[in-house]
């Protein structure tokens, strides 16, 4: 038992909380000291306290990671999130799989941002850091894990809790020192490289919404109503890029790993981060406006505050358990809902009060906005963005609404929309159209002084857009009205920004961030339209046998049943299920289960023939190799005109402790479309198969015969000295027949054994060929005629049910994402430079 | 009236529109009798019904039926008011289906059959481990 390390971790948590509170208090005191000198003293205290806080956060992280990395399974966190066989890079995923670890990650990023702010800010340091320290104190309290004596009230959930305190298992009564040999393991869906980088990116995005919020509150508090924008803007831009990247990584992970068939499912958990990001983008635009000419200051403030509050709200939604039935992947309630609500309400009320008190004094716009001003257009765009967010926020909050009604004694049985994808898409599509049209045009108003006469500047891009649009719809055959409009507006957004890049910015890279980012959005819209709108189930099956006539004719069968080695045609390919595989541990690739023999260690197997993967020899016969036994990969071959176009390996893990059956797709990537395939049902090997009526054949050596329509030859029968699993004495006789059976792709050998033991007992061992679903038994030997009697029977062949979806032009989406990120990066770099210049 | 006021009114109108549309598209949690009445009265909305799988006296799931090609299946769901209903689902049976504690079906009646378009499963300890797995 390693008690010390856990106690150390816990100590660090307490220090980090106390230091954060001390830092906030000291910074607060520094404003209210009568003398300047004491004020400076308090500010210094605050800084020292924040350093202590940051160091102890680093301490917590180190301790928790050590516990996971060293496999200290006496700790609940290590036990429930990792295991001995986990690869090193996924140890990181273990760290943030649990709620405590993800709070910690969030806290860690904010501590780092806090340190950066301490060193880059002078005038703003004290008030901004006060807000930071307060937020950090709330987060530290979430992992405190202290029970208030007498009240039975738990504050926070500690990651350093011992297994015996977390679990009610009788073994701990008899042996409190019990340590499990292995951990429970990491959810296989999270054993993916995206899960190593997606959570840190997302939480860095979360953390980056704090600096603008802190600057805004500081500005309100210090009555520097408009000065806070300049230092806040670079942070907001970086935040917009990182949070967006984090969300997209999550989508890409879902596309590669989950089997719901796409990258975005409008699940409440996804919506909970989508909304703050949309509002963050709106806030960035309005802030740029305010910075350039001081207009829309109040809106800037409200939006910046709203972003942070929405982040807290989304944390509350996903971690309080309130989504319960509504979401497939929200966290379970750790008993923190009260604390989370307090966290949310504290900052909502604090910022609300600050805004309300100062409202009258905040300068507002005097001038009437003109339709030709950039203000009008930016404002319009921000409005569309906010409405877009609002439309998603509202249905996502239905469980909250039910809870509130219930709290006041009422009853509400509202459920989220039944088909969430369809519901959200039909609204978001039109918002996206409005957004594309507004932001395409807004670029002209931003860079040019526009007037009534200059409308004609928009004419050329509009005309070019129409031509490009006509080409696209003609080539890609888009006919649906809504998609036509979306495509047109996406094209317009791209064309307008290319024109800006060429004619106004003239390729000056430092200024081109905005135009590039908008182009990226345009490409994403088109990519989204094609890959989702024209996402097409290619495993569609019209000759299936419906279970009931009531299903009606509109019920297509979306899945395809594939028997092993029996090709079917699908989406212009011949598709064939070839084998079950496992993955190599030390090399890239898969090996067929038929080609390996198990050893007592499930992670090691012996090759029973030379093993090839993609034409390359990986192991020789009798080699012992390391594999991952948990996952089964189904080899699915796609052939076009007889040539192999792709071999897909969709994955299944049968894992009772993780919810049973976990399917991950494999994707055949083409330039113009992806074919996405996942397994939806497999054969249950525990069930005894039904064998056909046995057939008897009498054959001589070398004679050809048929087993279940397969050509077979009895090649030889010879005496053997050893039979695996049996002790043979000198008098015992054992012979092995070797029957070659010609399968569809290769020959298999059935090797049934016939024995006479203790002179009289006859023993027979059948041999089964898994791939062909046949079984051969050597029943008797007739020395007179030289004939051997074989009994053969067959069963239903192995099968797998798959679903395959075609995603056209999905690469346009990924390309757009890349362009958007580059644009964001350039824009952020420009603002950081501006801020630096203003500082010196 | 200033142009900003017009914009404000348009925004408010849009927001109200969104609220009304959301309320209209929101589904509801009902029991089978209510769902049946809704279908009878011509209401084609998809609704959520929460229930449990029917079990025989030995605790085995009863009334389960797979189509011959395994691509769809039907089962008997007992709602909170103890009404039993045959439910048809046009997808292969989710492999952890039999272990689920609670099943939420989203769909509606067609004639006397409840056709589920979506099934949500609540499995015991799906994401939470509170028992030791003995090695």
For residue A657, what pLDDT band results from cuts at 50, 70 and 90? low
Domain final residue, candidates A153, A169, A186: A186
Using the predicted structure, report yes or no on whether residue A760 has a pLDDT greater than 70: yes
Q: Cβ contact (<8 Å) for A387 and B18?
A: yes
Distance (Å) from the C-alpha of residue B102 to the closest C-alpha of chain A? 10
Interface test with A, best of B6, B8, B18, B117 (most A CBs within 10 A): B18
Question: What does the pLDDT look like over A767-809, one tens digit per residue?
Answer: 988 888 899 999 888 888 888 999 999 998 888 888 888 899 9
Highest mean pLDDT among A126-135, A650-659, A802-811: A126-135
- Residue A557 lies inside a defined structural domain of this protein: no
Considering only CB atoms, which chain A residues are within 8 Å of B128?
A: 332
- Residue A367 lies inside a defined structural domain of this protein: yes
Q: Which residues pair with A570 in a beta bridge?
A: A573
Considering only CB atoms, which chain B residues are within 8 Å of A661?
A: 94-96
The two three-digit tokens of residue A145, written as one number = 């894990």
Using the predicted structure, report yes or no on whether residue A563 has a pLDDT greater than 70: yes
What does the alpha-carbon distance between residue A547 and residue A733 come to, in Å, rounded to a whole number? 53
- Residue A217: per-residue pLDDT: 96
Q: Cβ contact (<8 Å) for B110 and A550?
A: yes
Residue A479 makes CB contacts below 8 A (sequence gap 6+) with A473
In terms of domains, do A726 and A784 share one?
yes
Using the predicted structure, report yes or no on whether residue A368 has a pLDDT greater than 70: no
Question: What does the pLDDT look like over A495-534, one tens digit per residue?
Answer: 999 988 888 777 788 888 999 999 999 999 999 999 888 8
Distance (Å) from the C-alpha of residue B34 to the closest C-alpha of chain A? 12
- Residue A811 lies inside a defined structural domain of this protein: no
In terms of domains, do A68 and A157 share one?
yes
DSSP A772-789: TTEEEEEEEEETTTTEEE
* Structural domain span for residue A249: 189-416
Answer for the pair A334, A157: CB distance below 8 angstroms, yes or no.
yes
Task: From B112, B120, B118, select the one nearest B46 (Cα to Cα).
Answer: B118
Q: Cβ contact (<8 Å) for A661 and B125?
A: no
The chain B residue lying nearest A660, using CA atoms, is B96
In terms of domains, do A83 and A193 share one?
no
What are the CB-based long-range contacts (under 8 Å, 24+) for A398-402?
A: A398/A326, A398/B26, A399/A268, A399/A322, A399/A323, A399/A324, A399/A325, A399/A326, A400/A317, A400/A322
Between A128 and A170, the more confident residue is A128
Highest mean pLDDT among A352-356, A548-552, A599-603: A352-356
DSSP H/E element including B120: strand B113-122
Handedness of CA A598, A600, A601, A604 (dihedral sign): negative
Q: What distance, in Å, lies between the first and last C-alpha atoms of chain A?
A: 55
Q: What is the mean pLDDT of chain B?
A: 80
Question: What does the pLDDT look like over A154-211, one tens digit per residue?
Answer: 888 899 999 888 887 788 888 888 888 888 888 777 888 888 899 999 999 999 999 9
What does the alpha-carbon distance between residue B54 and residue A714 come to, in Å, rounded to a whole number? 52
What does the alpha-carbon distance between residue A241 and residue A522 come to, in Å, rounded to a whole number? 16
Restricting to B residues 76-135, those with a Cβ less than 8 Å away from any Cβ of A are 88, 90-96, 99, 104, 106-107, 110-113, 115, 117-118, 120, 122-123, 125-133, 135
- Residue A278 lies inside a defined structural domain of this protein: yes
Using the predicted structure, report yes or no on whether residue B115 has a pLDDT greater than 60: yes
- Residue B126: per-residue pLDDT: 39
Which of B25, B27, B72 has the CB atom closest to A547's CB atom? Answer: B72
- The DSSP output letter for B134 is P
Q: Cβ contact (<8 Å) for B2 and A659?
A: no
Residue A445 makes CB contacts below 8 A (sequence gap 6+) with A372, A373, A374, A376, A377
Q: Is B14 on the interface with A (CB under 8 A)?
A: yes
Task: From A139, A74, A90, select the one nearest A110 (Cα to Cα).
Answer: A139
In terms of domains, do A713 and A777 share one?
yes
Which of B95, B129, B130 has the CB atom closest to A660's CB atom? Answer: B95
- Residue A416: per-residue pLDDT: 84
Q: Cβ contact (<8 Å) for A547 and B65?
A: yes
Between A687 and A529, the more confident residue is A529
Between A150 and A16, the more confident residue is A16
Restricting to B residues 52-81, those with a Cβ less than 8 Å away from any Cβ of A are 65-74
- The DSSP output letter for B60 is -
Three-state secondary structure call for residue A223: coil
Give the CA diameter of chain B.
Answer: 76
Crossing angle for the helix pair A125-142 and A36-69, to the nearest 10 degrees: 30
Residue A414 makes CB contacts below 8 A (sequence gap 6+) with A398, A401, A402, B26, B27, B28, B29
- Look up the CATH number of domain B28-122: 2.40.50.140
Between B126 and A739, the more confident residue is A739
Region B63-85: what's the mean pLDDT?
84
Considering only CB atoms, which chain A residues are within 8 Å of B129?
A: 80, 184, 657
Question: What does the pLDDT look like over A86-95, one tens digit per residue?
Answer: 888 888 888 9
Region A724-752: what's the mean pLDDT?
86
Distance (Å) from the C-alpha of residue B96 to the closest C-alpha of chain A? 5
∠ CA(A598), CA(A601), CA(A603), 5° rounding?
80
Crossing angle for the helix pair A99-120 and A125-142, to the nearest 10 degrees: 170
Residue that is written with structure tokens 């056209």 in the block: A808
- Residue A330 lies inside a defined structural domain of this protein: yes
Highest mean pLDDT among A255-259, A387-391, A629-633, A637-641: A387-391
Distance (Å) from the C-alpha of residue B134 to the closest C-alpha of chain A? 8
- The DSSP output letter for A169 is -
Using the predicted structure, report yes or no on whether residue A840 has a pLDDT greater than 60: no
Q: Cβ contact (<8 Å) for B14 and A544?
A: no
For residue A348, what pLDDT band results from cuts at 50, 70 and 90? very high
Q: Domains in chain A: how many in total? A: 4
- Residue A547: per-residue pLDDT: 56
The two three-digit tokens of residue A376, written as one number = 């009008």
Region A697-717: what's the mean pLDDT?
90
- Residue A511 lies inside a defined structural domain of this protein: no
The two three-digit tokens of residue A531, written as one number = 């890959």
Interface test with A, best of B7, B11, B22, B81 (most A CBs within 10 A): B22
- Residue A545 lies inside a defined structural domain of this protein: no
In terms of domains, do A677 and A740 share one?
no
Task: From A423, A459, A427, A420, select the one nearest A441 (Cα to Cα).
Answer: A459
Question: What does the pLDDT look like over B1-54, one tens digit per residue?
Answer: 577 788 888 889 999 998 888 888 888 888 899 888 888 888 878 888 888 888
Q: Cβ contact (<8 Å) for A541 and B71?
A: yes
What are the phi and psi torsion angles at A210 (to 5°)? -75, -45
In terms of domains, do A47 and A31 share one?
yes
- Residue B24: per-residue pLDDT: 84
Residue that is written with structure tokens 């801020």 in the block: A835
- Residue A450: per-residue pLDDT: 66
- Residue B128: per-residue pLDDT: 45
Considering only CB atoms, which chain A residues are within 8 Å of B104?
A: 325
- Residue B125: per-residue pLDDT: 41
Q: Cβ contact (<8 Å) for B118 and A369?
A: no
Q: Which residues pair with A646 in a beta bridge?
A: A638
Highest mean pLDDT among A74-83, A557-566, A755-764: A74-83
In terms of domains, do A43 and A160 share one?
yes
Domain boundaries, chain B: 28-122
Region A375-395: what's the mean pLDDT?
92
- Residue A424: per-residue pLDDT: 93
- Residue A429 lies inside a defined structural domain of this protein: no
Domain final residue, candidates A381, A399, A416: A416
Considering only CB atoms, which chain A residues are within 8 Å of B81?
A: none
- Residue B127: per-residue pLDDT: 42
What is the model's pTM? 0.89
Q: Cβ contact (<8 Å) for A550 and B29?
A: no
Which of A171, A379, A395 has the CB atom closest to B22's CB atom? Answer: A395
Domain final residue, candidates A639, A668, A687: A687
Q: Cβ contact (<8 Å) for A657 and B50?
A: no
3-state secondary structure A331-390: CCCCCCHHHHHHHHHHHHHHHHHHHHHHHHHCCCCCCCCCCCCHHHHHHHHHHHHHHHHH
| ipTM of model | 0.83
What does the alpha-carbon distance between residue A521 and residue A240 come to, in Å, rounded to a whole number? 13
Q: Cβ contact (<8 Å) for B67 and A545?
A: yes
The chain B residue lying nearest A563, using CA atoms, is B69
Between A630 and A129, the more confident residue is A129
Answer for the pair A441, A496: CB distance below 8 angstroms, yes or no.
yes
The chain A residue lying nearest B129, using CA atoms, is A80
Interface test with B, best of A418, A566, A601 (most B CBs within 10 A): A418
Q: Is B34 on the interface with A (CB under 8 A)?
A: no
Give the CA diameter of chain A.
Answer: 119
- Residue A763: per-residue pLDDT: 87
Which of A394, A547, A550 has the CB atom closest to B111's CB atom? Answer: A550
Q: Cβ contact (<8 Å) for B69 and A561?
A: yes
In terms of domains, do A114 and A167 share one?
yes
Question: What does the pLDDT look like over A312-340, one tens digit per residue?
Answer: 999 999 888 787 666 655 566 667 888 99
Whole-number percent of chain A with pLDDT over 90: 45
Q: Is B44 on the interface with A (CB under 8 A)?
A: no
In terms of domains, do A237 and A354 share one?
yes
- Residue A516: per-residue pLDDT: 93
């Amino acid at each position: 038992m390693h008690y010390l390390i856990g106690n150390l971790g816990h100590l660090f948590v307490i220090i980090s909380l106390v230091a954060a509170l001390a830092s906030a208090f000291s910074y607060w005191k520094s404003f209210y000291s009568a003398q300047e000198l004491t004020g400076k003293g308090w500010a210094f205290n605050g800084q020292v306290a924040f350093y202590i806080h940051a160091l102890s956060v680093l301490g917590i992280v180190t301790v928790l990671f050590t516990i996971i990395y060293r496999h200290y399974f006496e700790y609940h966190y290590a036990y429930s999130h990792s295991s001995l066989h986990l690869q090193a890079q996924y140890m990181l995923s273990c760290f943030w799989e649990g709620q405590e670890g993800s709070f910690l990650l969030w806290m860690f990023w904010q501590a780092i941002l806090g340190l950066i702010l301490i060193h880059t800010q002078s005038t703003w340091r004290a008030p901004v850091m006060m807000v930071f320290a307060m937020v950090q104190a709330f987060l530290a309290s979430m992992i405190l894990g202290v029970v208030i004596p007498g009240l039975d009230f738990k504050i926070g959930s500690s990651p350093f809790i011992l297994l015996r305190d977390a679990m009610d298992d009788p073994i701990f009564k008899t042996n409190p020192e019990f340590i499990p040999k292995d951990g429970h393991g990491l959810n296989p869906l999270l054993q993916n490289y995206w899960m190593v980088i997606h959570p840190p990116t997302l939480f860095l995005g979360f953390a980056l919404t704090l600096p603008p919020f802190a600057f805004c509150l500081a500005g309100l508090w210090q009555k520097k109503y408009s000065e806070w924008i300049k230092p806040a803007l670079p942070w907001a831009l970086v935040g917009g890029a990182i949070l967006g990247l984090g969300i997209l990584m999550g989508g890409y992970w879902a596309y590669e790993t989950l089997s719901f068939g796409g990258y975005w499912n409008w699940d409440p958990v996804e919506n909970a981060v989508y909304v703050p990001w949309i509002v963050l983008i709106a806030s960035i635009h309005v802030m740029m406006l305010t910075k350039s000419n001081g207009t829309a200051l109040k809106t800037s403030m409200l939006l910046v505050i709203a972003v942070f509050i929405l982040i807290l709200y989304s944390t509350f939604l996903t971690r309080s358990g309130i989504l319960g039935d509504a979401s497939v992947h929200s966290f379970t309630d750790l008993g923190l809902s009260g604390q989370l609500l307090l966290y949310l309400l504290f900052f909502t009320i604090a910022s609300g009060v600050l805004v309300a008190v100062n409202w009258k004094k905040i300068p507002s716009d005097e001038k009437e906005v003109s339709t030709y001003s950039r203000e009008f257009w930016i404002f319009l765009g921000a409005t569309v963005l906010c409405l877009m967010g609002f439309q998603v926020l509202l249905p996502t909050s239905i469980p909250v609404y039910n809870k509130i009604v219930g709290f006041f004694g009422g009853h509400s049985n509202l459920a989220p929309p039944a088909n969430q994808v369809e519901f959200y898409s039909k609204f978001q599509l039109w918002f996206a159209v409005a957004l594309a049209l507004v932001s395409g045009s807004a670029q002209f108003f931003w860079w040019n002084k526009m007037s009534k006469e200059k409308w004609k500047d928009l004419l050329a891009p509009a005309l070019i857009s129409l031509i490009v649009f006509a080409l696209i719809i003609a080539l890609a055959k888009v006919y649906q009205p809504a998609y036509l409009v979306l495509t047109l507006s996406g094209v317009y957004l791209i064309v307008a920004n290319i024109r800006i890049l060429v004619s106004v910015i003239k390729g000056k890279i430092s200024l081109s961030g905005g135009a590039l980012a908008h182009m990226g959005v345009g490409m994403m819209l088109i990519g989204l339209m094609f890959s989702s709108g024209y996402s097409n189930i290619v495993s569609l099956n019209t000759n299936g046998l419906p279970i009931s006539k009531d299903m009606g004719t509109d019920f297509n069968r979306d899945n395809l049943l594939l028997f092993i080695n029996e090709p079917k045609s699908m989406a212009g390919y011949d598709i064939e299920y070839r084998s079950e595989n496992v993955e190599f541990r030390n090399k890239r690739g898969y090996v067929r289960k038929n080609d390996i023999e198990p050893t007592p260690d499930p992670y090691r197997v012996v090759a029973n023939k030379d093993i090839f993967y993609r034409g390359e020899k990986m192991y020789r016969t009798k080699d012992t190799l390391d594999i991952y036994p948990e996952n089964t990969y189904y080899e699915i071959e796609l052939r076009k005109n007889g040539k192999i176009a792709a071999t897909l390996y969709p994955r299944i893990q049968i894992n009772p402790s993780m919810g049973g059956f976990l399917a991950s797709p494999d994707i055949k990537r083409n330039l113009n479309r992806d074919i996405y395939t996942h397994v939806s049902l497999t054969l249950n090997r525990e069930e005894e198969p039904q064998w056909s009526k046995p057939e008897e054949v009498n054959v001589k050596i070398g004679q050809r015969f048929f087993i279940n329509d397969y050509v077979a030859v009895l090649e030889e029968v010879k005496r053997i000295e050893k039979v695996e699993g049996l002790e043979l004495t000198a008098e015992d006789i054992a012979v092995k027949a070797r029957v070659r059976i010609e399968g569809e792709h290769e020959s298999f050998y059935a090797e049934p054994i016939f024995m006479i033991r203790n002179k009289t007992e006859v023993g027979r061992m059948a041999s089964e060929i898994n791939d062909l679903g046949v079984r051969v038994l050597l029943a008797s030997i007739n020395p007179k005629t030289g004939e051997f009697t074989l009994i053969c029977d067959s069963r239903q062949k192995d099968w797998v049910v798959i679903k395959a979806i075609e995603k056209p032009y999905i690469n346009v989406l990924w390309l757009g994402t890349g362009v958007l990120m580059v644009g964001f990066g350039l824009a952020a770099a420009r603002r950081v430079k501006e801020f630096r210049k203003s500082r010196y | 009236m200033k142009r900003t006021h017009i914009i404000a009114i348009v925004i408010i109108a849009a927001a109200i529109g969104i609220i009304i549309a959301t309320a209209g598209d929101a589904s509801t949690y009902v029991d089978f009798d209510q769902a049946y009445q809704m279908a009878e009265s011509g209401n084609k909305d998809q609704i959520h019904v929460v229930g449990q799988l029917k079990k025989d006296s030995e605790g085995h799931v009863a009334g389960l039926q797979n189509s011959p090609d395994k691509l769809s299946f039907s089962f008997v769901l007992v709602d909170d008011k103890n009404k039993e209903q045959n439910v048809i689902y046009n997808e292969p049976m989710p492999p952890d289906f039999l272990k689920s504690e609670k099943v939420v079906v989203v769909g509606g009646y067609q004639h006397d059959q409840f056709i589920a378009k979506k099934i949500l499963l609540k499995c015991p300890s799906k994401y939470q481990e509170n028992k030791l797995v003995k090695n």
